[in-house]
Amino acid sequence: MLLKITVSGNPGGQRNAAPAPSGWKVDGFRIKKTVSDPIQQGSPVKAAVIVFPGSNCDRDVAVALEASMGSKPHMVWHRDTELPAVDLIVVPGGFSYGDYLRCGAMAAHSPIMREVKARADKGARVLGICNGFQIITEAGLLPGVLMRNAQLRFACKDVFLKVENDRTDFCRYYRSGDVVRFPIAHAEGNYFVEPHTFREMEDNGQIAFRYCDADGKVAPEFNPNGSLGNVAGVYNSKFNVLGLMPHPERLAEDLLGGSDGKLMFDSLVEALS
Amino acid sequence: MSQITPEVIAQHGIKPDEYKLILEIMGREPNLTELGIFSVMWSEHCSYKSSKKWLKTLPTTAPWVICGPGENAGIIDIGDNDAIVFKMESHNHPSFIEPYQGAATGVGGILRDVFTMGARPIANMNALRFGDPSNPKTRHLVAGVVAGIGGYGNCVGVPTVGGETNFHSSYNGNNLVNAMTVGLAAKDNIFYSAAAGVGNHVVYFGSKTGRDGIHGATMASAEFDENSEEKRPTVQVGDPFTEKLLIEACLELMATDVIVAIQDMGAAGLTSSSFEMASKGGLGVELDLDAVPMREQGMSAYEIMLSESQERMLMILKPGKEDIAKAIMDKWELDFAVIGTLTDTGRMVLKRHGEIVADLPIDPLAQAAPEYDRPWVAPAKQPVIKAEDVEAQCPAEALKKLVACPDLASKRWIYEQYDHMVMGDTVQRPGGDAAVVRIHGSDKAVAITTDCTPRYCQADPHEGGRQAVAEAYRNLSATGALPLAVTDNLNFGNPEKPEIMGQIVEAIKGMGEACRDLDFPVVSGNVSLYNETQGTAIQPTPAIGAVGLLADVNKHMTLAFKQTGSNIVLLGETKGWLGASLYLREICGREEGAPPPVALHRERRKGELVRQMIQDGQLLACHDVSDGGLLVAVAEMSMASAGRVGAALEAPSTLPLHAWCFGEDQGRYVLEVSDDDLVSVLEAAEAREVNARVIGKTGGHVISVGGRAVAVDELKAVNEGWLPAFMGGEMSGH
């Protein structure tokens, strides 16, 4: 693909906003494609949403995906053992199996997750949101663990996030340093990873988002759950897997209060088509 | 079999004359299982025996009402084959004993009432009343109830979009937890509970039956003594994950054509569900209790019939459809069992271990339950308090105190523990006049509110009943929604006391008047009596849950000031009514006086006017004036505004300033109107003979009146600060 701006080479490492790559222009804090991809033009993106018995954001994310993709994603039941041919797999929010054990711990061992891992290993993009982040982390797709919120309560509210790395398929419509507003709704979003791993992840550009204030200031008082380094979302080392606690699909339409989240789905569609 | 002694009868809450009726109906002495069944079926909770006479006086019909009271929930038509199914229900007593599980199972129960009818739940609300904040138990109860509501609703994935929370010492020994669910069904695919078809199978599905929640579990009886096991607590334990499975399984099942009738097992469990279904269908039923999926061994018929284990359903299947239903239940990993058959005997016959253990006539239990016309006395009228007789305080200082008082302080600490955005259709989140939830995939939306002002109901239950309905009507209208119907949750003390019964009667009369005059029928409801501790009753609390329709969600109106330099217009008349006001209670420490009267004919006209102006795009913001009066309403509009837009108000010289600022005259709205729209707004008001006047301008970052001013940020800080500080001070700001 001519215009692919992420993947191979060194996608991370740069913490400051990079200039728009050729073929792109910066419009406000959004980056717009100016030339369409001559090879992949019009090829529809195919996505799948994994549905566990206690998933409850599966419909929400399907709505957001459809708005960006122009077609409905496949809804794949957790007991299925095969995935259709897709470019993007979303593991949505919810309470997969009631979360009576550690959140996501049981779902991580469901039949479909073996297939999700195999696809991720082959380069498919995987997006885990909220409980989906917990599940793919428990399944070993991402380093670290999600613990109970520091204040021990469920928290549902809008938060501000600082975009840490725009050179990925998930965030190409954002710029590093942008402040975006997404809602959170979780009781266990307190991300932790061993300090040396964390340093490596920071150096690699694997931190996707950090909690901040409206002006982009990252400080403990803006951290809603006590996560290490105010982390709200992380990538794997190949940048094809993103897990985040906030819900981009919940602010993907102005009528619902904002559309910062839509840019993530638009980014993926742009990157994958 | 244990002997039915007068003590056993009394322990079942059955009065001697009721027992005589039982002997007459049975033609013999009942056994313990039968007595237990009578006891729960004739309980106040299931039979409405004290309130039925008066509930019948409420208006329940309108062209848009599909189903009124008597079913699991009420149903209204919102066009395009969409039907809204909703109800509010109390879980007061359990929530006081065990706040987390009590509140959680309250949410679970009301959700089931709604999805049982074929609706996908789309929103939850709750109306909570706690004791005085200084009461040592209050904090514990708030924490537990809120966590329980959140724990359940968040897991099932239904947004909790709003509600109300009050504090008053009368609730010290009896907090109120009233939960409401709103669901969306296809009008042509609604399910009812009346059984039909002799020979059809009675099917049980959902969770297994355990010994939790058994009504008589605290009773020392010979039969229980035979079991060595400890008695389980009487509060049920909720499992929201199973509820989520139950919702999906039910809706999947309802998309097939296999169900004759369906009902959830709520209060009184298998007893009330089976009796109600059979009674409504005029049939009999034979149940084989051995087939009931059980969580533990050795359960007696008494325990099985009276268990209130959660997340269970009962349905009548069409003949030969068991395989289809079972396959769906297997997919969702839920228990499924054929436990009985419909008969034409009109009797309930229960078998356990192959023997008949109970044989009861259905109708006398279900439909012919006792009904009382309890003696009542009308409460004494309170004197009207003149504004001149109420101490005047600096309006800025008083405003600051009021917005930080427990009843008006921001409830963010509560609603941020509820997932209020899941399902992706929450257009107006908690904190506004009403929640606005879009009908998925359409441009329509429903507005939802819960309202009641218990201090008015205490002072004058009749006027308080009218006001609760009128305020709900206003809150819906202020978002632009056409008010359609209400559900009521009547919380009172002991109806055997004539003065309490008087409160019930008068509140229902007042509600009925308002519902009739506003074309706002009651389609469902619940009654919770005996909310008394050591002889002290709660303030009468007829909580109203209401639903309205926005034909175009894009036109929904919010209360936040939008810009500087707009006109602030007050609709409705201000006389400075301070009796039973928050100002009087919070600033002057006086709980007295007659509450403000509601003029229903003008109420309706004003609602129509406000909705028309919103529809015509003439308003920038709209907020009804309620607790705390005009100045509090304006402050709320400033605090909600993104830019903390302030307001400069000009008070008229004809009234004492504190009365103008804090009087709680009814039927008023504050509007934000641009210069361009001002003339048309004032003309529209005049055309409908509604009093409207410009009382100030938006702008700056302070609220000023009568030469005094207070910064919006300062108000916001104290308004947001109280509840987190009360709950422990560790809430992060946002």
- Report the share of chain B in percent with pLDDT over 70: 96
Residue A156 designated active-site? no
Indicate whether this complex's ipTM tops 0.95.
Answer: no
Tell me which chain B residues have a C-beta less than 8 angstroms from the C-beta of A185: 154, 419, 421-422
CA distance B58 to B521: 8
CB contact under 8 Å between A155 and B417, yes or no, is yes
pLDDT in tens, B411-434: 999 999 999 999 999 999 999 999
* C-alpha count within 13 angstroms, C-beta hemisphere, residue B530: 9
pLDDT mean over B457-481:
98
Instruction: Please count the residue pairs, one from chain A and one from chain B, whose beta carbons lie less than 8 angstroms apart.
Output: 94
Kindly determine whether residue A255 and residue B244, on different chains, have CB atoms separated by under 8 Å.
no
Q: Please write the tens of the pLDDT for every residue from B294-350.
A: 999 999 999 999 999 999 999 999 999 999 999 999 999 999 999 999 999 999 999
Tell which of B149, B252, B422 to mutate to test the A interface (max A CBs under 10 Å). B422
> Which string of DSSP letters, residue by residue, matches A103-142?
TTTTGGGSHHHHHHHHHHHTT-EEEEETHHHHHHHHTTSS
pLDDT of residue B233: 52
What would the pLDDT profile of A36-87 be if each residue is shown by its tens digit? Answer: 333 344 568 999 999 999 999 999 999 999 999 999 999 999 989 899 999 9
Query: B143-191 pLDDT, tens per residue?
Result: 999 999 999 999 999 999 999 999 999 999 999 999 999 999 999 999 9
Across the interface, of A63, A94, A256, the residue whose CB is closest to B426 is A256
Q: What is the rounded distance in angstroms from the CA atom of residue B314 to the CA atom of residue B262? A: 6
Helix (H, G, I), strand (E, B) or coil at B722: helix
User: What's residue A3's pLDDT?
Assistant: 36
Contact list in A for residue B332 (CB cut-off 8 A) is 53
- Chain A residues lying within 8 Å of B417, measured CB to CB: 153-156
Distance from C-alpha of B208 to C-alpha of B190, rounded to nearest angstrom: 26
pLDDT of residue A104 exceeding 90:
no
Mean residue pLDDT of chain B comes to: 94
The pLDDT, as a whole number, for residue A18 is 42
How confident is the model over B612-627, as a mean pLDDT? 98
Using CB atoms within 10 Å of the CB of residue B6, give its burial: 0 to 12 exposed, 13 to 18 middle, 19+ buried. Answer: exposed
What are the distances in angstroms from CA B710 to CA A71, B150, B395, B419, B670? 53, 35, 9, 34, 19
The pLDDT confidence band at residue A98, using thresholds 50, 70 and 90, is confident
Which range among A98-112, A161-175, A182-196, B121-135 shows the weakest confidence by mean pLDDT? A98-112
Residue B360 has pLDDT above 70, yes or no: yes
Q: Which residues of A touch B (CB under 8 A)?
A: 53-57, 59-60, 63-64, 93-95, 97-100, 151, 153-159, 183, 185, 187, 221, 224, 247, 249-250, 255-257
Determine the Cα–Cα distance for residues B42 and B370; give it in Å rounded to an integer.
7
Taking the CA of residue B343 and the nearest CA in chain A, the distance in Å comes to: 37
Evaluate if pTM is beyond 0.90. Answer: yes
- The pLDDT of residue B534 is 85
Dihedral of CA atoms A164, A168, A169, A175 in degrees, nearest 10, equals: 50
Q: Do B241 and A256 touch (CB under 8 A)?
A: no
CA distance A178 to A160: 10
The pLDDT assigned to A99 comes to 76
H-helix or E-strand spanning residue B185:
strand B176-186
Q: Do A256 and B427 touch (CB under 8 A)?
A: yes
What CA–CA distances, in Å, run from B126 to B107, B146, B627? Answer: 9, 10, 18
Residue among B245, B417, B427 minimizing CB distance to A255: B427
- Alpha carbon of B292: minimum distance to chain A alpha carbons (Å): 24
Q: What is the per-residue pLDDT across B627-642, written as a single tens digit (0 to 9) for each? A: 999 999 999 999 999 9
Report pLDDT for B212.
Answer: 81
Query: In chain A, whose CA is at the least distance from the CA of B555?
Result: A255
Contact B332, B344 (CB under 8 A): no
Residue of A nearest to B443 (CA): A255
| pLDDT value of position B60 | 98
Chain A residues whose beta carbon lies within 8 Å of the beta carbon of residue B438: 255
Which residues in chain A touch residue B154, judged by CB atoms under 8 angstroms apart? 95, 154, 156, 185, 187
**Tokens representing residue B615 in the block:** 């529809």
A13: pLDDT strictly greater than 80: no
Among the partner-chain residues B240, B416, B423, the one whose CB lies closest to the CB of A157 is: B416
Ranges A174-188, B31-45, B429-443, B560-574: which has the least confidence: B31-45
Strand, helix or coil for residue B625: coil
